[in-house]
Copies of this chain bind each other. A is one copy, B any other.
């Protein structure tokens, strides 16, 4: 961090991370701005991909849909979220996001606290009931 902390993150300053469920455009992280309680990433999820069932042991999260449509799960509850709609996920609650639709899904993942160095996400996608939930529909 420079002596004058950065207060803005514009298009050219976004940090891009490639993950199997699409590029992640990081907008707010402790290594980018003076963030302590808030992290923000914009995910561009191509059709036919998804971020399977997982939980964050110590982080609270909001999913905000910007473009396209999300098949969003929180616990055993499923919704199709449109632009401007959200899911709220308390710490330790299992959730998943899928894009079974024709266009790229763009959503914001808002996380608290900002420190991403805490306990990593727990992948439960291979365990019951999570591995059978989508088939059961």
Please measure, in the bound complex, the distance between the C-alpha atom of A88 and the C-alpha atom of B34, giving whole angstroms: 8
> In the assembled complex, which residues on chain B have CB atoms less than 8 Å from the CB atom of A14?
84
Chain A count of residues within 8 A CB distance of the other chain: 43
> In the assembled complex, which residues on chain B have CB atoms less than 8 Å from the CB atom of A72?
8
Q: Are B113 and A7 in contact (CB under 8 A)?
A: no
Return the contact of A8 from the options B8, B42, B79 (Cβ within 8 A): B79
Interface of A is mostly: strand
Q: How many copies make up the complex?
A: 2
Please measure, in the bound complex, the distance between the C-alpha atom of A62 and the C-alpha atom of B6, giving whole angstroms: 13
Least CB separation from A5: chain B residue: B90
Between A and B, 20 residue pairs with Cβ closer than 8 Å are A5-B90, A8-B72, A8-B74, A8-B79, A8-B88, A9-B88, A11-B82, A11-B84, A14-B84, A25-B84, A27-B64, A27-B86, A28-B88, A33-B88, A37-B113, A38-B60, A40-B64, A62-B110, A64-B108, A108-B108
